[in-house]
Structure 1
Amino acid sequence: MSFQSLNLVDELNQALTHLEFVEPTEIQTLSIPLILQGNDLLATAQTGTGKTAAFMLPILNRLISENHAHQAVRALVLAPTRELAQQVAKDARRLAKFSEIKVACIYGGANIGPQEKIIKEGADIVVATPGRLLDHMIKGTLSLNAVEQLVFDEADRMLDMGFMGEIKRIMRKVPENRQTLLFSATMDDVVLSQVNTWLNNPERVGVEQQNSTADKVEQIFYAVDEERKRELIAHLIGKNNWQQVLVFTRTKKSADDYAKELNKDGLATLAIHGDKSQGARDRALEQFKSGKTRVLVATDVAARGIDIKALNYVINAELPYVAEDYIHRIGRTGRAGNAGRSISLVSIDEQWLLEEIEVLLDTRLTPQWLEGYEPDLTREPKDNRKNSSKSRKQRDEKRILGQRTRRRKR
C-alpha cells in the first residue's frame, strides 16, 4: 500500500511528499482506512511505530475536507505526559503544513496564560495532558462541545499514572456522537475493562511491540575513532562479502561523504536524503533492491518506507540523536523470518547516545574492539557537557518525566 492509494486530500499528500514519507507503516496501513470510514478504533502500538500519523492523517483529512477551520476545537488528543503531547503536536503541525489547520498543545508545568491566548486565537486540534485540559475547562477558556474525534494516545500509561478521574470528567463534556480512537502499548484485560465504555463497537488492530524487533536482530557495537569509521565499514563489507548493506547517517552531508568514499573503496554505493529528488531516491532504491548497488547510505527520514524483506545488514555509521530511531533503523533487517544483523560504530563523542539507547532497550550495550581499529583512549569527548555528571543527571530526570521512564540499572 502507498499513501497515494489512501486518497487523502492534496494538502496531506503535499506534506507526505515534503516529509519524504513513501509507504505507510504497519499500524498506519491497518488503522487509516478504518478511521477514514468513521469507525471507532482500539489499536495496540508502541511509540516508534508511526502511530501518530496513523490517527492524525485521517483526522486532518476530515478537518481539511469539511473546511471549518478555527471555528471550534473539533479534534482532541489526550496524552499522558507533556513530552508526548509536545511531540504529537509537533508531528501534527508538520502534517498540516500545507493546510490552514491550527494545532494547540496544552500541558502542565508551563504558564497557563500563553496557552489561553493560543486557544482564543483558534485551534482545530488540541493535544493535551488531562490535568491541564481540566484546568482550561474549569476556567472556561476551552469548550469541548464541538469535538468530533477523540484520541487517547498511550492509554495504558494514562491509566497507570492515575488519570482515570480526570478522564471521566473530560468524557462528560465531549459529545456522545463522536469518533473515539484509542492507542495503547498494551491491551490486557485490565485496560480493556476500563476503556470499553469509551468506545462504540470499535475495530481492533495491533502491531508487534517495537522492542521485540531489537530482540530478533543480532546487535554488534564497535568502538572506533570517528575518522576511521568509513575505513572500518569498507573492511567489514569487503572481508565478509556482504552484498545489500544499508548504512545510516545523521545528516545529508554525511550520507554524501560516506557514499563518495565507499565508491572510492570499490563498493558500488548510492546515497538517499532530502536533497535528492523523489525520482533519484526511487531509482537508487530500485538499484539497491536489484543488487546493482551494493551499499545504500541513507538519513533516517529518507529511509522511511524502505521495506526490503531479505536485507541482512544494517550499519549505523553514526548513532541517531533520538534513541527510538535506532529501533527504526535496525528494524529494516531481520524481516520475514530472515536473519538480521546490525553493526553500530560508536565514537567517544557518541557515548551519551549509546546510553540513551541502553535506556530504551533496558539493557547494557558494550562496544567491542576490532583488531586494527582500536579507539584512541587518550581522546576526550569534543562536547564534555554531554558526558558530564550534571548532564547525565539531567538526562535521567528528563527520562523520568518523558515517554521512556525506565532508568538503567547499574
Structure 2
Amino acid sequence: MDDEQNRQQQEDWLNSRKNRLPSFTEVLSRRTRPPVDLFMFYIFLQREGAEDILDFWLDVQQHENLCRAYFKDVRKSGRTIKEDWPQYWEYARRRGSIYGTVVGLQPNAAKRSMTSTSDAINDQEKNANAAEERRSAQRSTTPGYEKEHISSPLTAMNTPDADPPRSTTPFSLSRRTPTLFNLKRASRAPTVIPRSAAINRMDLIASAERIFFRYLSPAGTVDSPENHEIYLPPALRIQTFPLSSTQEPKSQGDLNMLAHIPDMFHAQKEYCFRAMEQDAFPRFLRSKAFGNLTPMSALVRLVVGLVVLWIGLSAGFSLIFLDVQPKSKRFFLFIPFAFAILFLISHQYELDPILSTPFRTLTIREPYVKRLLLGRAIWVTTLVSTCVVALTFLFWAVPGHRL
C-alpha cells in the first residue's frame, strides 16, 4: 500500500511539473533538468560574481549532512545522543534543533525549530534594516560620524551598531569581477558523504571551521585565497570561531560551544536561501526559461544587427537614388534585412530561434521550459518575418530617382 501511494505521489508530482516552472527547492535538490538545473543556476550566479552565496548554502548543507551522519552512527552503535553528547542533548531540548527527529527528540521538534528560526530571521532583518537607517541618518546629520564609529570587526559579536556601513543585499557585496567563463570553483554538496571511518566530533568542528573562515570571517582577518566573505545582516554575522580542529575541547565553556556546532549556520543558510529565492532565482528563470542567449551573445547580436542594418539601409538607398534597373533587384535587400532584424529582435527578447549561444547549443530537457521556448521562438520568427517582408516591400515600392 505504501509503495502504491509513493508511486502515485511521484506520478502526481511529475504531472504537475509539466505545467509549471520548477521551484527553487527543486533546483537545489537536483530534481530539475537543463536549462533550469543547479549547474546552470551556478553559472548564472558566477556571471554576476555572486556564486559564493550558493557555495555557502551547499557547504552548509554538506555540514548538516555530516552532522546527521554522526547522529545516525551514534544511534546505530546502540547509544543515545543523551548518553554520547549530553551538552548537545540539553541544548537541543531547550532551544530546538533541525535534527530533532534524528537525535530522538519529539517528532515536531524540528518543525518548531524551523518556525522559530524563520521568525528570528524576520526579526533580525527588521532590526538590521532599522539599524542601517539609523546609521544613514547619523552619517548625513552628524559631522565626523565615520571617524568616531569605525571599530575592529572582532570587538563584538552580532552587534549591528558596532559594524561599519555595508551593502544591504548579498548580491551587491561581491568584490570580485564577474566572469563569463571561469568555472573552476563549481563546488557541490554530495548527497552521500564519502568516508572511510566513523565520523567524530572533531570532524564536525573541522567542517564548521572551514565554513567560518571561508565565508564568514571578516575580510582582512584571514590572508587566504579561499576567503570569500559573503554578506549577512548584522544580526546574523558570526565574528569569532573559538574552537580549533587541531585541539579537542576540554573546558566546560568549549564543550558548551561545541554543542552549537551542528546548528551553527542554519539561520545564515535560511537567509541565503531566501535571498537567492527572492532575488537571483526569478532573474535566472527569466533568463533561462524565457530565453536562450547569454548576456555576451545578446550583446554581440545587438552590435552585429546594427552594423548589418546600416549596410542594408545603405544598399537600399543606393539602389533608389541610383535608380538601378530592373527594379526587382531590390528584393535582394531581404538578405541583409533578415540578418539585421533577426539579430536585433533576438537581442530584445534574449532568444534566438536558431542558436542558443554563438559557440554551442544546449539540449532543453525540461518539458514545460521546452514548450515555453518553442512558443516564444515561433513568435520571434513570425515577428522577424513580418518586419523583413514589410521593410523589403517598402524599399521595393519607393520610386527610383537618380540624383
**Shorter-normalised TM range:** under 0.3
Q: Normalising by structure 2, report the TM-score.
A: 0.22
Work out which of the two has the higher radius of gyration on C-alpha atoms and give 1 or 2.
2
Higher relative contact order (CA 8 A, sep 6+): 2
More helix as a share of residues: 2
**Which has more strand, going by share of residues?**
1
